Amino acid sequence: MLYNIGIRSYGLAVRVASLFNEKAKLWIAGRKDYWNNLPDVKNRNVVWFHCSSLGEYDQGKPIMERWRIEHPEDYILVTFFSPSGYENIKDKSVGDYTCYLPLDTPKNAEKFIQHFQPKNSFFIKYEIWINYINEAKKHGSKVYSISASFRENQRFFKWYGQNFRNALKQFDHIFVQKESSKALLNKIDITAVTVSGDTRYDRVIQRAQENRENAIIAPWVEGEQVFIVGSSWAPDEEIIIPYINDFKIQNRVIIAPHDVNESRIKEITSKLKVSYQLYTKVQKGEALKPFTTVLIMDCIGVLAEAYRYGNLAYVGGGFGTGLHNILEPAAFGLPVIFGPEFKKFPEAQDFIDAEIGNSCDDGKSFYDAYTYYLGNKQATERVKNFVNSQKGATDIVFNVLS
């Protein structure tokens, strides 16, 4: 009862937020007239993949693609909770049908599962929706968790977490990133667990191998070192931009903020005292000047291409909003700097341990890491070797499933 009240309260809060927040507005609009727009899947073998957002989609994508190859007759359903995932993927999804997932109320879960009747259901990383999981199991679906990560302070392991423990016990198999996660699950008598690693490594390695040249960036950076600030938020920029303005960062700089709305772009440009240009204006014909110091990615979908040209990356979100994808730049051999809040992201500690990543909490610690990595000629090779050593999670998952 408390869980269902909490879910409904969340939905109400989003509706209120949609009056002034663009993401909340998309969240509501994407679920409008939901049930009347569902596809007819009668007599289809539906395989359902649920992702919270863009990062979870990247973790699930290697499994989806392999499933498509091994079971071409199946109907792949992909759902998202967050607009930042759905809005970026809806037109290029692996799925036969891609949509938002309604709130996890008992009624929504029953209608959704009765309509799609998934034979296999995959929840990526942290996604544990109690009503959907219970309803899927009730209708005979096999339920799996992919690239899951668990910590001792999570509700599953607290005295009040019985409902969530019961949900975990519904899974037919849980694939975790770390031995420590397996040990925690074993303590609560969940033993259908395999340490597979993180499927995102398979994804980013695959992406790095794609020969995608960027006609705008390539000539601008030729012969230059390039520092890339990816998925940044204001607290990230506050510690980096002063060093750009003081010419202590003498490379070409690419800044790709997490949000690319007009106000965020103005916020960044108002702080810059060096020459800069906006990527979209160059796309529309403005000449990219050779003396431009900073190129601002004021659009979505180009950051992965940009990392190909980098020497060092800073990845944002580590000052409280949630660390973004540090694997993506590493796949191209870039050491990565990030903020201090990374405990929920085990890959960040792995990077620190492997000496291919550094956490910073202020401008000085950022600049110390920046100068260390740009002066370290072995760093790129060390990063590539580490990333390659982590591949193979997809194979492990399918070895268990087959």
The confidence band for 384, taking pLDDT boundaries of 50, 70 and 90, is very high
Contact criterion met (CB below 8 Å) for 236 and 326: no
pTM for the structure as a whole: 0.86
> Does the pLDDT value for residue 211 go beyond 80?
no
The stretch 45-63 carries a mean pLDDT of 94
* 346-358 pLDDT tens trace: 999 999 999 999 9
The pLDDT value recorded for residue 329 is 97
Higher pLDDT, 174 or 322: 174
> Does the pLDDT value for residue 390 go beyond 80?
yes
Which long-range CB contacts under 8 A does 204-207 form with residues at least 24 apart? 204/58, 204/325, 204/327, 204/328, 204/330, 204/331, 204/387, 205/331, 205/387, 205/388, 205/391, 206/62, 207/304, 207/328, 207/331
The pLDDT value recorded for residue 344 is 87
What structural domains and CATH numbers belong to the chain?
2-207+392-401 (3.40.50.11720), 210-389 (3.40.50.2000)
Burial state string for 77-99 with b = 16 or more CB within 10 A and e = fewer than 16: bbbbbbbbbbbbbeeebbbbbbb
The stretch 132-145 carries a mean pLDDT of 97
The confidence band for 375, taking pLDDT boundaries of 50, 70 and 90, is confident
The stretch 234-248 carries a mean pLDDT of 97
